Structure 1
Amino acid sequence: MQYVLGQADFAGRTFHVEPGVLIPRPETAELCQWIVETQKENWENVEEIIRKEFNISPDVAFEDINIFKEKGWFKRKYSRLRFIVKIVHCYIKARHTKLASPRPRIMDLCTGSGCIAITLSLEIPDSEVLGIDISDSACNVATKNAKQLASKAIFKNVDIFDLLEMCKTNREEHFKADIIVSNPPYICEKEKADMEKNVLDYEPDLALFVPDEDPLKFYRAIAEFASLELRSWGMLYFEINPLYEKETREMLEGFGFKNIETKEDAFGKKRMMQAMK
């Protein structure tokens, strides 16, 4: 029906869809909500730490204070060295939680219609969002959605495996993200028998299926890429196949990720995972 109408609702907005892109699911909207809530919660934690460290009055709006440049209030109170030491101290205190940036750089890998990238760009103010997809037509759909929804997210047509190789061979040019998120293909061929016929008939295999013998094919490449491309304490988010939750967690641990958490969707399935670099 969504392909006939040319649109699908997602996270309170209407997105253009067409054959060649996956129809956005409610579970994926839950993933976006988790990211937005975590970002807000973590930045409030960092704000609290910095306020205490610098004795900033609650009457002073935090967004009006540029803590990363020695101007105004900070310059009058602290030497350059003491200022830097105190800021580093704040970040060390915050590292035991999931440190958030007030203006995060976000990458959405396997972006499809752009629903995740666009939602995050609109829900997280001042974020810089880049969506990546192997499909040129998907990138065109995502760009159209960004324009229609007044999002600043941008999209590039790149294969994630090529992106990983470029990242490993060219260490000079990096996006250096604060958040990397992906809803990659994760359904095994053997699971087709349990799927609805309309999904099999109309939605793109490229966005859905992975080989039975390598169900974590995309997750492994994305995790390795994230281990190189995320800033320290940056966050990686996945929508996952509940059948491989344990294997996905172990794979992330193998790449050195920590504070790994799994979250159930509205149907009680282990559908989302987050990890810190």
Structure 2
Amino acid sequence: MTYNELCRRLSPLYGEGEARAIVRMVVEDEFGLSPTDIYMGKVNQLSADERANLEEIVARIANYEPVQYVLGHADFSGRRFAVAPGVLIPRPETALLIPMIGSAAARPFTLLDIGTGSGCIAITAALDYPDATVTAWDISDDALRIARVNATRLGAQVCFERQDALAPPADTALWDVIVSNPPYICMSERAEMSPHVLDHEPATALFVPDSDPLLFYRAIARYATRALKPGGTLLFEINALYASETSAMLHALGFAASVERDQYDRPRFIIARL
């Protein structure tokens, strides 16, 4: 298969632009071909074993398996993180939380990442702000295993703990900053989502009941009212559909909260201070 043939095979599923990006990622990461190599037609000069491997990869992607799971990694904030089924794939927009963390507290500071998944937020913060003491929670053993692998490989000092965000401990004044990208997609939004997300990424990291879209935000915010140090900051990635409701809930709990927009000008984050 040539590069263009591979792109045409995936274009009906992903669109032409995304299909080309996926194929380019595969041939660069898996087979070490540069953009110049691709332009020179070296994709169709692969060995028989390499072509068989490429065919298997493309078949999995054509079945809507995320390319990050197929390759076993995803890039986040300039670093490569291992990912696997059962662990949410890091999104580029989530990386905007990292400078917000850095601006939220004087140095040194303590940080808690709730629902860490691959560990991308906690590990990046620990590496970017070496004077931070970072703890990360998740309820998923699979996520914690992958997060620890990532921390070890990247050389980050993070304390990972198995903890249910809906039943947090009775902590008091422990953290300067709490950050979370919790489950926030309502079940009614499933029809609008791509099969490569619905059929492969962990539902427990994505969905909340339609009857309580703020389920995790409310539990984490209540914990933060006692677990943040005076003047501490709570940072959320949010569902844009419920930005006003999330902000109102935080105000009712005594936070001064502001909604921040992402690179697409969508309400994406909330910064809340006690």
Normalised by the size of structure 1, how large is the TM-score? 0.73
1:263 equivalent in structure 2: 260
Q: Which of 82, 94, 100 is the equivalent residue of 1:34?
A: 100
Describe the SS at the equivalent of 1:237.
strand
Q: For 1:53-202, list aligned pairs within 5 A.
A: 100-163=105-168, 166-167=169-170, 174=172, 176-202=174-200
Q: CA RMSD in A?
A: 1.1
Give CA-to-partner distance per residue, 1:67-98, whole Å, 9 cap, x none: xxxxxxxxxxxxxxxxxxxxxxxxxxxxxxxx
Structure 1 residue runs of 4 or more that deviate by more than 6 Å after TM superposition:
none
Give CA-to-partner distance per residue, 1:169-189, whole Å, 9 cap, x none: xxxx65700000000000001
1:235 equivalent in structure 2: 233
Residue 34 of structure 1, CA deviation: 2.5
Give CA-to-partner distance per residue, 1:135-165, whole Å, 9 cap, x none: 01111111111001100011111111221xx
Counterparts of 2:100 and 2:163, CA distance in 1: 26
- Identical pairs, percent: 50
1:218 equivalent in structure 2: 216
Residue 244 of structure 1, CA deviation: 0.3
Q: Which of 16, 27, 31 is the equivalent residue of 2:82?
A: 16
Counterparts of 1:247 and 1:174, CA distance in 2: 26
Tell which has more relative contact order, 1 or 2 (C-alpha 8 A, sep 6+): 1
Describe the SS at the equivalent of 2:95.
helix
Task: Describe the shift of the 1:18–1:175 C-alpha distance in structure 2 as closer, same or farther (beyond 3 A).
Answer: farther
Amino acid at match of 1:34: M
Select between 208-217 and 134-143 the one with higher mean Cα deviation: 134-143
- Unmatched 5+ stretches in structure 2: 1-66
Counterparts of 2:156 and 2:244, CA distance in 1: 36
Is the Cα–Cα contact under 8 Å of residues 172 and 226 in structure 2 kept in the other structure?
no
Paired positions, count: 208
Counterparts of 2:114 and 2:235, CA distance in 1: 10
Describe the SS at the equivalent of 2:254.
coil
Give CA-to-partner distance per residue, 1:97-132, whole Å, 9 cap, x none: xxx231110000011110000111111121000000
Residue 207 of structure 1, CA deviation: 0.2
- Unmatched 5+ stretches in structure 1: 40-99, 168-172
Counterparts of 1:265 and 1:196, CA distance in 2: 21
Is the Cα–Cα contact under 8 Å of residues 172 and 228 in structure 2 kept in the other structure?
no
Amino acid at match of 2:163: V
Amino acid at match of 1:225: Y
Residue 33 of structure 1, CA deviation: 2.7
Is the Cα–Cα contact under 8 Å of residues 68 and 89 in structure 2 kept in the other structure?
yes
Residue 266 of structure 1, CA deviation: 1.2
Normalised by the size of structure 2, how large is the TM-score? 0.74
Residue 35 of structure 1, CA deviation: 2.2
1:43 equivalent in structure 2: none
